[in-house]
A and B are shown apart, each in its own frame.
With several copies, the nearest count.
Chain A
């Protein structure tokens, strides 16, 4: 008689009261992982999914073959974008707490990923983000006031108060409309890239997804279509260790890095230090070079940490050790790039203080402007807009309903 079967229910060692424990995390030293030529065949690139591409070491020095060529102004622009993103998050999180809106989500600790990716790609490339890529908009110089108007769902909201706060859409900034439904944007990104390739265009697409959401069927669809048609797309997984209260083990990350998912599709996959602005830049450039050369898709897993609560509705103290964020071994992306600029003699403490002050002032000024229009409940789009854009032109039924509503 066989022994009875038992079920494995994954559970992190690290819960409130326990000590943070990152021993299961596969790390590599800065500069350790080799850089293959972007022209390399996918089948020769399998190891990259299991290492961790890192450039910045603990002293802020750039190490190894993945060091990107970035001038001082590019580095400073990156730092400024990250600092501004964090300042924006702080203020809007507070605004929600003050009752000015219904909801907010921060990307604290993950700023390097979106900011570096935005700067590494062409402004004409199209991002298909999820809800934690505000750094893309900010790094691309999108209007903070418009972002706030969206968050306040006010009369100046470019999305007419229709979407939950932070579910931006900014076509001109190459930023696709965010969906609340996890994962759906991934095959859409692939489709956009396929369309670009079909049309003989040069623009590529970039899809974004969280570690938890990789379990959705749409993630598989995206990898399948990207692989089959060799679509010029970069598929980014932001592995910030948590999906609300679920650790990565619940998404299948207990034994294998998420990057390894690419291998079964013949898609080259990189596992990258997401808190390392230079590594993110290098990986993105590498993937973009492949895509633009008709070599097809790349899957990138950015390893980072969600330092903030999932959203304003969440309280992580209920499910993870209070000091886990502070002990995260890949550090803070802003401080790491700052150290690098220090070390390279490109930035002084005063410069950094100025940068922070400037960011704060930018956010404050934007806040004043947006709040002058109004916050949620105090200002809103015309009720007439409720009935618009369902179709390009309303059908008779919508016209009837609008009339019934008296608007």
Chain B
């Protein structure tokens, strides 16, 4: 099984799906001849032709709007939004249209599109190349939200998303494209090669939507994370020397609540980590659910470690990014049962 980085794994997923299903097509800014600014669609236009993978105008509402029409026709469009920070012009089409089409037409029409977009920080991208908007979509009934944390899952989840009959927002942690990232600002970054989850089958396979992965067993505390933060959380637990059970959610909607509650009922403690700002982040939903479902097992308040409630900065990126020290501190506090 070849080792792939996340870009190669995503490219492979698209390649597999273009080959298997003539209804799949890809469009977005710079994805055609050029192969995408992150090279995720590299080589696909020349392999499958211009009507299967092509450039689109800089109009995110047009991208998603036309993809909905294509989906209603019967195709399975995969759309790339160049950065998640630029998804807002398409917000109405996603929220009012893609998410509600099946419901409002009582199943006559549906919008089986996949919207891929790189998200998250850690690359000195400033406020418009670093955002994590996932919770703005998890609130919307009718949308699924998927976030992989490694090449193997990225490919399998992307295939599952494309094959899914409902609209899926597929957020790609761009900080993980070329290698895992533990969040230490001053240590050299490592490539994916050598990481067990870089082992990625060449052909078709899928990782089902709605199944979390327990990436590290542990007894002291449950850590809920996704995307880049899975790796940062692991590093933090190691750093703090705490026996944490780390769960990679993989899909936020549908959520694998069972795996979460099973773990929290065992550990009695929970820390939730994300890059997005704290207030109304997805961590809020997770905390609400965990206290609802595990109240009588909890031995300390659930803590959230998240981005601050400010826009994403540039120079002070490492003061914003919820790195291993901040997470480690929360782990310690929760294990010691500290209130706020």
Binding site for B on A (CB under 8 A): 7, 9-11, 15, 102-103, 126, 128, 153-154, 157-165, 167, 169-171, 176-177, 179-184, 186-196, 198-199, 205, 212-213, 215-218, 220-222, 224-225, 228, 243-246, 250-252, 313-314, 318-319, 376, 380-381, 383, 385-387, 389-392, 395-398, 401, 405, 407
Contacts of B278 in A (CB 8 A): 401
The answer to whether A221 touches B315, judged by C-beta atoms less than 8 angstroms apart, is no
A386 to B142, CA, bound (A): 13
Selected from B58, B75, B110, B144, the residue in CB contact (under 8 A) with A216 is B58
A395 to B25, CA, bound (A): 27
Contacts of A176 in B (CB 8 A): 72, 109
Most chain A beta carbons < 10 A, residue from B61, B109, B254, B311: B61
Q: Check if B279 is an interface residue, CB within 8 A of chain A.
A: yes
The answer to whether A181 touches B88, judged by C-beta atoms less than 8 angstroms apart, is yes
The answer to whether B257 touches A217, judged by C-beta atoms less than 8 angstroms apart, is no
The answer to whether A153 touches B314, judged by C-beta atoms less than 8 angstroms apart, is yes
A15 to B291, CA, bound (A): 58
Interface residues of B in 76-123 (CB under 8 A from A): 77, 85-86, 88-89, 92-93, 96-97, 101-110
Task: Count how many pairs of residues, one from A and one from B, have CB atoms less than 8 Å apart in the complex.
Answer: 272
> Do A184 and B279 form a contact, CB below 8 Å, given A159-B104, A401-B309?
no
Selected from B101, B255, B309, the residue in CB contact (under 8 A) with A177 is B101
Contacts of A319 in B (CB 8 A): 33-34
A391 to B210, CA, bound (A): 13
Selected from A169, A182, A220, A392, the residue in CB contact (under 8 A) with B166 is A392
The answer to whether B253 touches A169, judged by C-beta atoms less than 8 angstroms apart, is no
Selected from A11, A314, A381, A390, the residue in CB contact (under 8 A) with B316 is A381
B186 and chain A: residue at smallest CB distance: A377
Nearest Cβ on chain B to A260's Cβ, whole angstroms? 16
Binding site for A on B (CB under 8 A): 25, 29-30, 32-34, 37, 50-51, 54-62, 65-75, 77, 85-86, 88-89, 92-93, 96-97, 101-110, 124-129, 141-142, 144, 165-166, 210, 253-255, 257-258, 278-279, 308-311, 313-316, 319-320
Selected from B86, B166, B310, the residue in CB contact (under 8 A) with A386 is B310
A-B contact pairs, 18 of them (CB 8 A): A11-B50, A15-B33, A154-B315, A160-B315, A167-B104, A171-B109, A180-B127, A184-B97, A191-B70, A221-B62, A225-B59, A245-B33, A313-B37, A387-B310, A389-B103, A389-B106, A390-B309, A392-B110
Closest 6 interchain pairs by CB?
A191-B69, A161-B315, A180-B128, A187-B65, A191-B66, A164-B126
B68 and chain A: residue at smallest CB distance: A188
The answer to whether A222 touches B65, judged by C-beta atoms less than 8 angstroms apart, is yes
A297 to B279, CA, bound (A): 42
The answer to whether B58 touches A381, judged by C-beta atoms less than 8 angstroms apart, is no
The answer to whether A186 touches B65, judged by C-beta atoms less than 8 angstroms apart, is yes
> Do A390 and B69 form a contact, CB below 8 Å, given A177-B108, A181-B96?
no
A199 to B86, CA, bound (A): 30
Nearest Cβ on chain A to B236's Cβ, whole angstroms? 16
A378 to B60, CA, bound (A): 37
A33 to B61, CA, bound (A): 36
> Do A162 and B127 form a contact, CB below 8 Å, given A195-B75, A390-B310, A395-B253?
yes
In the complex, given contacts A160-B315, A216-B58, A376-B124, what are 12 additional A-B residue pairs having Cβ atoms less than 8 angstroms apart? A162-B311, A180-B128, A187-B65, A188-B97, A190-B62, A191-B68, A191-B70, A251-B57, A389-B107, A392-B165, A396-B255, A398-B308
The answer to whether B73 touches A191, judged by C-beta atoms less than 8 angstroms apart, is yes
Contacts of B279 in A (CB 8 A): 397
B123 and chain A: residue at smallest CB distance: A102
Contacts of A401 in B (CB 8 A): 278, 308-309
Selected from B37, B71, B89, B97, the residue in CB contact (under 8 A) with A217 is B89
A126 to B128, CA, bound (A): 23
A181 to B82, CA, bound (A): 11
A387 to B311, CA, bound (A): 9
> Do A224 and B319 form a contact, CB below 8 Å, given A9-B50, A162-B314, A401-B308?
no
A386 and chain B: residue at smallest CB distance: B316
The answer to whether B89 touches A385, judged by C-beta atoms less than 8 angstroms apart, is no
The answer to whether A224 touches B59, judged by C-beta atoms less than 8 angstroms apart, is yes
> Do A11 and B33 form a contact, CB below 8 Å, given A190-B69, A191-B68, A376-B315?
yes
A191 to B67, CA, bound (A): 6
A215 to B308, CA, bound (A): 33
